[in-house]
Structure 1
Amino acid sequence: MNLTQKISLFLIFCPILVQADWGVVTQTDTNNAKTQVAYTKNSDGYSLEIYKDNVGAIRSRFSLNAELDMLAKRSCPTYQIDSRLIDNRSINDAPCLTDLSWSEFILGYIADNNTASSRLNALMNGGTITFRFMLENGSYKETKFSLSGSKKATLSALGTNLTITP
């Protein structure tokens, strides 16, 4: 077998790791209000969004993939950025908001184009974020997202003139 054939076989049978690409999408709510959202979807089909709501809260939403899995009721996923401490709370130690297919964390509030948020800073400058969560059937799952490109997408969605104090 020559080198070209070996490389071809390697590429066919070797799993390919694909880094999640961050981008900005526009979402429209039921009142036709448009929101810019920094968005990524990982290879497992889970998605992660960062956006500013209509009162200036910066939110991070983790959503399950399209499978039939549902999050356990009254259970917030944990998240860990790189090797930082594991967390499952919003700012001011508030619980997450959760539904059957998503959970949302408030990362900070914008006032006069400024926010104090170590969580947002870590999301924008970290390497990976890992979510661990319990499903309605009692089983646990884990998924990871690359944070490569998250800073550019997040600033584009929230405003390039935003000042973030960790």
Structure 2
Amino acid sequence: MSISFRVSVVAVALSLTACAETGTALQSLNNGLAQFNQAMAPSPNGTPAVFTPSLSAEQRTQLNNAVSASLTSRDAGLRNMVNSASPMMVAVMSKAACYQNWNDARVLSMYTSAQIGNGFIPGPWGPMKYAPKNHCLSILRTDSWTQKSLNAFQYRTVYYSLESGESQAVFYEFINQDGSWLLNNAYF
């Protein structure tokens, strides 16, 4: 055997070993990215679980009950609007319940009309000094329903911390623009 052939065989063997190690490294990287994607995947409330706590099953049930309970005595027009807007309302309230900041614009801007844009959206957490930050707030009730127009309504949501006993009410106004329900106003 010639020396050049031996060098070629050694070079090929080293290359194959390097490819096998690279394949193992790439597989490990792929597994790590898969775990990262799982952690970043939106939870039922739309927020990646890695960043914030999410509503418990009991809190989600309480939220749905709070929306439907105070509507039973309202007229059919308002009930139909609220039923149509319900997925958007639940998304907004559940994100506000878990996002611990004075300004909820970072997590709610995707749901807003041009009226709010990316400006200030008051969050229920701001005034709560003692509510633990590792839990979401519960929705105690929704009330004060008002039909503003044929395509807009307003209501009040009362957020509550089971741990500290603090509560904060936020008024929300929703509008139907081009067939989509959007958050049009929010205030204390």
TM-score, length of structure 2 as denominator length: 0.29
Larger helix share, 1 or 2: 2
Larger strand share, 1 or 2: 1
Larger radius of gyration: 2
Higher relative contact order (CA 8 A, sep 6+): 1
TM-score, length of structure 1 as denominator length: 0.32
